[in-house]
């Protein structure tokens, strides 16, 4: 007989997995008290005192009667009587409370810190659950709850302390601030909170936390804080580096894309966060469900931002608010996570390495498509987790639906705190006067505790007093919660002047986040005027500000505001705006393209990442409108970005579509064909690559574009020599070299690299190294990442050909480190060269593993050396296999396929190598 007892929440008893009906409150109380000490006899008098505050005269008979009925109800011999009293004869693992206590006792400070953090998260969340619900009247319940509350305090203190050690100050603040509220007279939580605030650069709040504690202590018992707390305060005030400087640790290694940095304080929702934290450790799919404006997105951001590497290696947040076409869901997810194709399979391949949290925000309009995508991705991955926000659940198996409700009833005080906090900002730090508080609280009730409505109302307190705001907005809200928000938006909109209304309508059309520069450029108005008016819209909470992990400031219009504003838009205005939109983004992409071949490449990639939704929208609009010039400039400008981001197939498909738009040849077309040649070659379509090179050369010559003509000839020569036609390759390279002196540095570096490959094919290895060194020198002088990596790659292969493998490994190792962050496909090519060198330093086993790793990691970037390198790759594989016993190559290769980048870098570091200092001069 398997008996299980739960005392967290409403006490429940199960036998062999089925709930038992054990009667009323007294029987439940008896079982619950015995369950607090499973396997231990509770003396009869102690059990009576625990259950009956005033025992009746016949209490012993009553107790025996209840025990008998409990046995009959299904507990049987699990409820035993002894001379010493009664006991619940089950193992401790059968009771949730006992499991909790044992897990707390088993916490081991010697375990890895991310595992400790995960344990503390789970246990503190469980300790925050209600205990013995419905049994408040029984004497044993209060001390039992108090014990769990005390355990929770200690767990949260340990959790905050560990978060500080790991450098995650925001998590420490989020955890311990609630502890201080619940235990206002305990000193350790205040010490931890003040330290976390100080290290998060919130030093004035840190001092305020200490001063508030000191005041509470004096009000409570007239005592002063301890000298330790006084010393901490003094250290914060004098900016003692040992106290206030942020610590750095593994917690900061979570890679986040699109997860905004909130600019306002997160207020309330402590119970919701606690439940979701616990869910994050158990569930692979959590959907936060609630009405518009209730704070679903902000809660998701808060939950993601406080996570450390105990939970996630990577996080991606994708806003679906503007997606109306179900077919666009998967391509959007694929582009954000940098999958190589716009398919579910490609997304799954990209996200199979490490623990990934994918946040799909505002899924309402495409709920069915999101459900299909999520279901397919969960089935294809093991460590991918989803956090979805929507007005409805996805209704998938295993979905944990979390309903987020407005701040009403028990949470009404949180609504007041939120409104007060935002009002304080709007009023320049001036709190509500005593005679304003009643009206302010009444407005919170009028607005049904909808956070966005509260923020909109608070934002108008910059010019209006609370009575005017309530008269204008609160009293008009009579149609329920959705009407509360819509009325707040409508009232705020009506108070705008005509220019601000026009600006709000315009910026609400952007597909994703935007900048002042973009808003001004698309509107064709002065940037200063646009900046001033958008700042007013931000101040009125109609436009929100996001900061990405890189610190770049972007703006967005919330979905609920967009929905309202769309009803005031006109088709004629929208059509004209779209024409300006695609023209501006085409200009942006074309203008930024040269910087992708320069030192600014990383910054430009970040800019294009931020505008990805609108760049995609602009391309679709250009193709739909037959605007060939805009379409080709968009793809020609973004092509190097797609290569760097590993979006090879998606980039090629977009260039093909743009070039298929009918019309005359346009300015950007030679570059578009040239970039198409690279993407076609990298994806294994050599015939298409050579055709694109020929077209690029033709158009480059016709336009007098020396750069395009020279590079087209060089790429054609490189390809011919690589595939064995050295004579034709030489003819083409000589033509390219004649043009090179007149070309820009990026083109000269490409010509020199291709010439080096030709010389390598002719076995003129010393001359090849000279040409490749020149290519590297030119590329390094301008920061052209692709050519820096490519020249190192071909140099490493040339050194292997010259039987200088140690130099090849030393040179290539430096190339991998430099390329990995911005050009993963190029970095994998260099690792492939290192694998080849392993055959000549008697490390064939490592070479086989590196080949396996390159093939497996390459799946995530659609990179295949066999496809891109042809016979070179096959020859390298044969050389490595020749040094291994039969079957050993495949075994080592399979081992490598389980490797990640860290394993690859460790293996390379332990290979015999010599720095090739004579070849590369920084």
Residue-wise pLDDT for 699-745, tens only, equals 999 999 999 999 999 999 988 887 778 889 999 999 999 999 999 99
736 domain-assigned: no
Task: Count the neighbouring beta carbons within 10 Å of the beta carbon of residue 497.
Answer: 10
Angle, CA of 195, 198 and 201, to the nearest 5°: 150
Same domain, 521 and 475: no
Q: How confident is the model at residue 247 (pLDDT cuts 50, 70, 90)?
A: low
Q: What percent of the chain has pLDDT over 70?
A: 95
Same domain, 582 and 546: no
Same domain, 70 and 46: yes
Q: How confident is the model at residue 803 (pLDDT cuts 50, 70, 90)?
A: very high
Q: Kindly tell me the burial class for residue 479, based on how many C-beta atoms sit within 10 Å of its own C-beta (0-12, 13-18, 19 or more).
A: exposed
Q: How confident is the model at residue 53 (pLDDT cuts 50, 70, 90)?
A: very high
Q: Is the pLDDT of residue 252 over 60?
A: no
CA dist., res. 42 & res. 56, Å (int): 20
Question: Which position has the token pair 């694998």?
Answer: 835
Q: What CATH number corresponds to the domain at position 26?
A: 1.10.10.10
Helix (H) or strand (E) holding 446: helix 437-446
Residue pair 23/69 in contact (Cβ under 8 Å)? The answer is yes
Same domain, 795 and 864: yes
202 domain-assigned: yes
Question: Which position has the token pair 């907005």?
Answer: 473
pLDDT, tens digit, 9 for 90 and up, residues 365-394:
899 999 999 999 999 998 899 999 999 999
Same domain, 356 and 386: yes
Residue pair 20/27 in contact (Cβ under 8 Å)? The answer is no
* DSSP states of 851-892: HHHHHHHHHTTT--HHHHHTHHHHHHHHHHHHTS-TTHHHHH
Same domain, 481 and 618: no
Which residues face 88 on adjacent strands?
A: 79
- Nearest CA-CA partner of 445 in 415, 466, 468: 415
Q: How confident is the model at residue 248 (pLDDT cuts 50, 70, 90)?
A: low
Instruction: Give the domain range for residue 64.
Output: 3-102
pLDDT, tens digit, 9 for 90 and up, residues 296-309:
988 999 888 877 77
Question: Which position has the token pair 């607090």?
Answer: 36
pLDDT, tens digit, 9 for 90 and up, residues 585-616:
999 999 999 999 999 998 898 899 889 889 99
Helix (H) or strand (E) holding 403: strand 400-403
Mean pLDDT for the chain overall: 88
Q: Which of 104-113, 283-292, 448-457, 482-491 has the lowest mean pLDDT?
A: 482-491
Is 494 in a helix, a strand, or coil?
A: helix
Residue pair 191/232 in contact (Cβ under 8 Å)? The answer is yes
Average pLDDT of 422-438? 86
Q: Which of 673, 688, 713 is the last residue of a domain?
A: 673
Residue pair 552/595 in contact (Cβ under 8 Å)? The answer is no
The tokens for 29 are 């109380």
Q: Which of 460-464, 508-512, 806-810, 870-874 has the lowest mean pLDDT?
A: 870-874
pLDDT, tens digit, 9 for 90 and up, residues 669-678:
999 999 999 9
Angle, CA of 747, 749 and 750, to the nearest 5°: 65
CA dist., res. 813 & res. 810, Å (int): 5
**More reliable by pLDDT, 504 or 239:** 504
Distances (CA, A) of 530 to 499, 540, 608, 634: 10, 15, 22, 25
- Nearest CA-CA partner of 75 in 2, 158, 135: 2
Q: How confident is the model at residue 868 (pLDDT cuts 50, 70, 90)?
A: low
pLDDT (0 to 100) of residue 549: 44
Q: Which of 561, 580, 615 is the last residue of a domain?
A: 561
Distances (CA, A) of 142 to 54, 132, 135: 16, 10, 10
Average pLDDT of 54-82? 92
- Nearest CA-CA partner of 875 in 805, 812, 800: 800
The alpha carbon dihedral of 48, 50, 51, 56 has a sign of positive
Q: Is the pLDDT of residue 6 over 80?
A: yes
pLDDT, tens digit, 9 for 90 and up, residues 619-628:
999 999 999 9
Same domain, 446 and 386: no
- Nearest CA-CA partner of 122 in 161, 170, 165, 158: 158
Q: Is the pLDDT of residue 654 over 90?
A: yes
DSSP 131: B
Angle, CA of 920, 749 and 737, to the nearest 5°: 125
The tokens for 136 are 């408040």
237 domain-assigned: yes
Residue pair 791/753 in contact (Cβ under 8 Å)? The answer is yes
The whole model's pTM is what? 0.66
Q: Is the pLDDT of residue 344 over 70?
A: yes
Same domain, 886 and 818: yes
pLDDT (0 to 100) of residue 250: 45
pLDDT (0 to 100) of residue 788: 94
Distances (CA, A) of 620 to 615, 647, 654, 818: 9, 17, 10, 35
Q: Could you give phi then psi for residue 423, rounded to 5 degrees?
A: -65, -35
The tokens for 465 are 């007093």
Same domain, 792 and 856: yes
Average pLDDT of 863-891? 83
627 domain-assigned: yes
Residue 536 CB partners (closer than 8 Å, separation 6+): 500
Same domain, 7 and 84: yes
Q: What CATH number corresponds to the domain at position 883?
A: 1.25.40
727 domain-assigned: no
Q: How confident is the model at residue 251 (pLDDT cuts 50, 70, 90)?
A: very low
Question: Which position has the token pair 């769309």?
Answer: 566
Helix (H) or strand (E) holding 752: helix 745-761
pLDDT, tens digit, 9 for 90 and up, residues 818-848:
787 778 888 899 999 999 999 999 999 999 9
Residue pair 850/835 in contact (Cβ under 8 Å)? The answer is yes
Same domain, 264 and 398: yes
**Number of domains the chain contains:** 7
The tokens for 261 are 């940095």
Q: How confident is the model at residue 527 (pLDDT cuts 50, 70, 90)?
A: confident
Alpha helices in 183-283 (DSSP H): 187-199, 203-221, 227-237, 241-244, 270-282
Any idea of the CA torsion for 18, 24, 30, 33, to the nearest 10 degrees? 80
Which residues face 501 on adjacent strands?
A: none
Q: How confident is the model at residue 340 (pLDDT cuts 50, 70, 90)?
A: low
Q: How confident is the model at residue 480 (pLDDT cuts 50, 70, 90)?
A: very low
pLDDT, tens digit, 9 for 90 and up, residues 197-227:
888 778 888 999 999 999 999 888 778 888 8
755 domain-assigned: no
Q: How confident is the model at residue 917 (pLDDT cuts 50, 70, 90)?
A: low
> DSSP E strands: which ranges in 277-336?
285-289, 314-319
Q: Is the pLDDT of residue 464 over 90?
A: no
Residue pair 135/29 in contact (Cβ under 8 Å)? The answer is yes
CA dist., res. 857 & res. 828, Å (int): 8
Average pLDDT of 851-857? 90
pLDDT, tens digit, 9 for 90 and up, residues 734-774:
999 999 999 999 999 999 999 999 999 899 999 999 999 99
CA dist., res. 838 & res. 28, Å (int): 70
874 domain-assigned: yes
**More reliable by pLDDT, 281 or 921:** 281
The alpha carbon dihedral of 462, 464, 466, 469 has a sign of negative
CA dist., res. 276 & res. 394, Å (int): 17
pLDDT (0 to 100) of residue 893: 94
366 domain-assigned: yes
Pairing of strands 544-547, 553-556: antiparallel
pLDDT (0 to 100) of residue 263: 66
149-158 CB contacts, 8 Å cutoff, 24+ apart = 149/182, 151/101, 151/104, 151/127, 152/124, 152/127, 152/128, 153/179, 153/182, 153/183, 153/186, 153/189, 155/104, 155/120, 155/123, 155/124, 155/127, 156/124, 156/189, 157/188, 157/189, 157/192, 158/107, 158/120
Which residues face 545 on adjacent strands?
A: 555
The alpha carbon dihedral of 768, 682, 833, 836 has a sign of negative
Q: Is the pLDDT of residue 551 over 60?
A: no
Q: 213: phi > 0 → left, psi -120 to 50 → alpha, else beta; which?
A: alpha
Same domain, 483 and 421: yes
* DSSP states of 85-109: EEEE-S-GGGBHHHHHHHHHHT--T
Q: Which of 512, 543, 561 is the last residue of a domain?
A: 561
Is 318 in a helix, a strand, or coil?
A: strand
């Amino acid at each position: 007989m398997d008996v299980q007892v739960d005392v967290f929440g409403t006490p429940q008893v199960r036998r062999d997995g089925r709930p038992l009906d054990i009667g009323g409150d007294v029987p439940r109380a008896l079982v619950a008290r015995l369950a607090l000490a499973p396997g231990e006899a509770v003396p009869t008098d102690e059990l009576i005192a625990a259950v009956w505050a005033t025992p009746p005269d016949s209490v012993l008979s009553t107790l025996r009667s209840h025990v008998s009925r409990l046995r009959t109800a299904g507990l049987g011999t699990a409820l035993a009587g002894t001379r010493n009293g009664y006991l619940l004869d089950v193992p401790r693992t059968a009771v949730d409370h006992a499991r909790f206590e044992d897990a707390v006792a088993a916490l081991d400070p010697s375990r890895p810190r991310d595992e400790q953090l995960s344990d503390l998260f789970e246990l503190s969340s469980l300790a925050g659950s209600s205990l013995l619900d419905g049994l408040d009247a029984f004497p044993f319940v209060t001390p039992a709850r108090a014990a769990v509350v005390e355990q929770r305090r200690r767990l949260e203190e340990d959790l905050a302390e560990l978060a500080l050690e790991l450098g995650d100050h925001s998590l420490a603040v989020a955890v311990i601030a609630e502890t201080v509220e619940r235990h206002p007279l305990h000193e350790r939580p205040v010490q931890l909170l003040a330290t976390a605030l100080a290290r998060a650069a919130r030093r004035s709040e840190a001092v305020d936390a200490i001063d508030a504690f000191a005041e509470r202590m004096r009000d409570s018992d007239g005592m002063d804080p301890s000298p330790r707390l006084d010393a901490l305060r003094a250290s914060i005030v004098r900016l003692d580096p040992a106290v206030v400087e942020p610590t750095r640790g593994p917690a900061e290694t979570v890679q986040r894309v699109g997860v905004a940095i909130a600019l306002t304080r997160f207020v309330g929702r402590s119970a919701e966060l606690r439940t979701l934290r616990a869910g994050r450790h158990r569930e692979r799919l959590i959907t936060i469900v609630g009405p518009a404006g209730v704070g679903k997105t902000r809660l998701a951001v808060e939950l993601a931002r406080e996570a450390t590497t105990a939970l996630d290696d990577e996080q991606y947040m994708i806003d679906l608010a503007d997606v109306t076409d179900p077919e666009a869901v998967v391509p959007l997810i694929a582009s954000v996570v940098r999958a190589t194709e716009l398919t579910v399979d490609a997304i799954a391949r990209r996200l199979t390495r490490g623990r990934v949290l994918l946040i799909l925000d505002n899924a309402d309009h495409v709920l069915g498509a999101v459900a299909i995508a999520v279901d397919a991705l969960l089935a294809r991955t093991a460590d991918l987790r989803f956090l979805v926000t929507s007005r409805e659940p996805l209704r998938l198996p295993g979905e944990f639906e979390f309903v987020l409700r407005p701040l009403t009833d028990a949470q009404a005080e949180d609504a007041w705190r939120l409104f007060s906090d935002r009002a304080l900002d709007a009023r320049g730090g001036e709190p509500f006067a005593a005679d304003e508080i009643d009206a302010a609280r009444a407005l919170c009730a009028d607005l049904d505790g909808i956070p966005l409505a509260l923020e909109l109302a608070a934002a108008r307190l910059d010019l209006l007093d609370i009575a005017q705001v309530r008269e204008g907005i609160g009293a008009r809200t009579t149609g329920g919660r959705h009407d509360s928000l819509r009325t707040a938006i409508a009232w705020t909109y009506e108070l705008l002047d005509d220019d601000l209304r026009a600006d709000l309508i315009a910026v609400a059309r952007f597909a994703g986040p935007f900048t002042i520069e973009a808003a001004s450029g698309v509107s064709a108005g002065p940037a200063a005027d646009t900046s001033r008016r958008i700042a007013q819209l931000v101040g009125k909470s109609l436009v929100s500000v996001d900061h990405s992990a890189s610190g770049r400031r972007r703006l967005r219009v919330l979905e609920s505001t967009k929905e309202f504003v769309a009803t005031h838009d006109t088709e004629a205005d929208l059509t004209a705006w779209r024409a300006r939109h695609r023209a501006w983004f085409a200009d942006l992409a074309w203008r930024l393209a040269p910087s992708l071949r320069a030192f600014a490449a990383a910054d430009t990639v970040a800019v294009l990442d931020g505008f990805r939704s609108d760049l995609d929208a602009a391309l679709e609009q250009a193709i739909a409108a037959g605007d060939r010039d805009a379409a080709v400039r968009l793809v020609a400008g973004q092509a190097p970005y797609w290569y760097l981001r590993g979006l090879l197939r998606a980039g090629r498909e977009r260039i093909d579509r743009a070039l298929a738009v009918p019309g005359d040849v346009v300015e950007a077309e030679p570059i578009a064909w040239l970039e198409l040649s690279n993407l076609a070659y990298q994806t294994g379509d050599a015939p298409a690559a050579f055709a694109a090179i020929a077209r690029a050369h033709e158009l480059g010559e016709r336009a007098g574009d020396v750069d395009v003509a020279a590079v087209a000839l060089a790429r054609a020569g490189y390809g011919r020599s690589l595939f064995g036609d050295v004579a034709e390759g030489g003819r083409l390279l000589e033509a390219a070299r004649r043009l090179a002196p007149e070309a820009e540095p990026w083109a000269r570096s490409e010509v020199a690299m291709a010439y080096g490959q030709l010389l390598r094919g002719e076995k003129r290895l010393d001359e090849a190294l000279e040409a490749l060194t020149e290519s590297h020198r030119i590329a390094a002088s301008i920061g052209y990442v692709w050519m820096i990596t490519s020249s190192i790659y071909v140099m490493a292969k040339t050194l292997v050909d010259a039987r200088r493998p140690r130099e090849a490994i030393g040179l290539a190792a430096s190339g991998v480190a430099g390329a990995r962050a911005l050009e993963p496909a190029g970095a994998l090519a260099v690792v492939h060269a290192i694998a080849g060198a392993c055959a000549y330093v008697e490390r064939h086993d490592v070479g086989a593993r590196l080949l396996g790793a390159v093939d497996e990691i390459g799946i995530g970037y659609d990179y295949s050396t066999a496809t891109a390198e042809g016979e070179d790759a096959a020859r390298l594989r044969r050389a490595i296999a020749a040094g291994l016993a039969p079957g050993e190559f495949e075994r080592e290769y399979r081992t490598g396929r389980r490797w990640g980048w860290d394993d690859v870098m460790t293996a390379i570091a332990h290979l015999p190598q010599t720095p090739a200092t004579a070849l590369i001069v920084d």
